Amino acid sequence: MKDLKDLDMHLKTSSLLVSFLFINALSAQNLILSENRQDILDYSKEKIKEDSNKLSKDWINSITYSYVQNDGDTINRSNKSLISINQPIFKSGGIYYAIKYASSLKDSNNILVNLEEKELIKNATNLLFNIQRKNLLIQKQNLILKSNLIEIKQKQESVLNGLLDISFLNTAILENNKQKENLLDLEFQNIKLSNNFNNLTAKRPHEFTLPLLKLVNKKDYLKNNIYIKQSKAATKTKNYLKGIVQSKYLPTVNANYAYTNNHTTNTESNNYGFSIVVPLNFGVFNDISSSKIDYLKSKTQEKITKRVEKNFLSTAYAKLNMIDKKIELTKDNIESFKILLSQMEELQKAGLKTKDDVVILANSKDAETLDTKIFSIDRQIELLELYSRVDNAI
């Protein structure tokens, strides 16, 4: 019973964490992954930043420097330094699309890293919930075993008094052994969950407070859904890439400059100008059509993603409704047990029932109370699945 009171106090304390940004509270407790896992994510973000900066400058051609030395007779011997650049200054929108593509690809890749981070945090939080759930199941299993021992004792007395066939006692003993095995399984599963949790974080499960989540409304869910955002970002990136492909086959204006220093004659020369390049390629229409198809495919996938997320939310609401009904049914059972327990205590006082009968009924009531806690955790786990799909929620 002390464990039940502790859990009640725990949930009341956790209610302070009811927030759409609940993982921020967990972050304050350093739940956000182990140092090594966080480093991997940070490295990924840094790489995305550097790759994007490089990609945004890819349209800028290199400045080349060369040194030429000709060895021969005195007349033909020379030493020259050359600096040259051939830089596009107009690519029919290609420069604009290249810069926008680099920025859009960066945003899209950052969302993917964010998804990876959210998934890891969700898994860690899910493990916390399941560890608590297993603790409650272990408490419930111990109540079952206590009641079983009383029932075995009662059956032993009935067998010895010739009131019951021994087969009933054998069945009760075998059933009790199965329940003991179930308890061992639950304890092992809890150890496994704790070890899995330690693979993600640097602290132990008991060092964290469980969050208490509230229902995400449909509008916020769809507006901030990370998968929908990722799909939109991918479509935006494909659109800019389509522009880059199209610009490849349109006129380009290049600025040219060349500087030469003849060290032998100690003379310098500067040449500059511009050139216009019009590419002619037999595969132009195929390449452009392919990029358009890729863009349209991404647009269609975006619609599919929206539909999938709407259905996911609808399924989650249905499951939450089912869990709520289970909680209400269990509460009704508890009220029934309270009435029966009160009657049983009166019968015990009158000498019509034994103390063991009262204990068995009390254990059944306490087991139902634990079930309400278990169902509540099931509800939190389902809400966690929703939160993990909402941007800035995890």
For residue range 36-62, what is the model confidence (pLDDT) as tens digits? 999 999 999 999 999 999 999 988 888
Looking at residue 21, its pLDDT comes to: 42
> What does DSSP say about strands 252-262 and 64-70: parallel, antiparallel, or unpaired?
unpaired
3-state secondary structure (DSSP) of residue 29? coil
What is the largest distance, in Å, between two alpha-carbon atoms of the chain? Answer: 132
Give the span between the Cα atoms of 317 and 236, in whole angstroms: 31
Q: What is the pTM of this model?
A: 0.82
3-state secondary structure (DSSP) of residue 65? strand
Please, are residues 107 and 229 in contact by the beta-carbon 8 Å criterion? no
Q: Does the domain made of 2-123+201-387 have the CATH classification 3.20.20.80?
A: no
Looking at residue 32, its pLDDT comes to: 66
Please, are residues 113 and 391 in contact by the beta-carbon 8 Å criterion? no
**Sole residue written with tokens 């690809």:** 105
Mean pLDDT of 133-137: 98
Per-domain residue ranges of the chain? 2-123+201-387
Average pLDDT in the chain? 89
Looking at residue 285, its pLDDT comes to: 93
pLDDT digits (tens, 9 = 90+) for 138-161: 999 999 999 999 999 999 999 999
pLDDT digits (tens, 9 = 90+) for 107-132: 999 999 999 999 999 999 999 999 99
In order of 41, 53, 107, 329, the CA distances from 110 in angstroms are: 10, 14, 5, 45
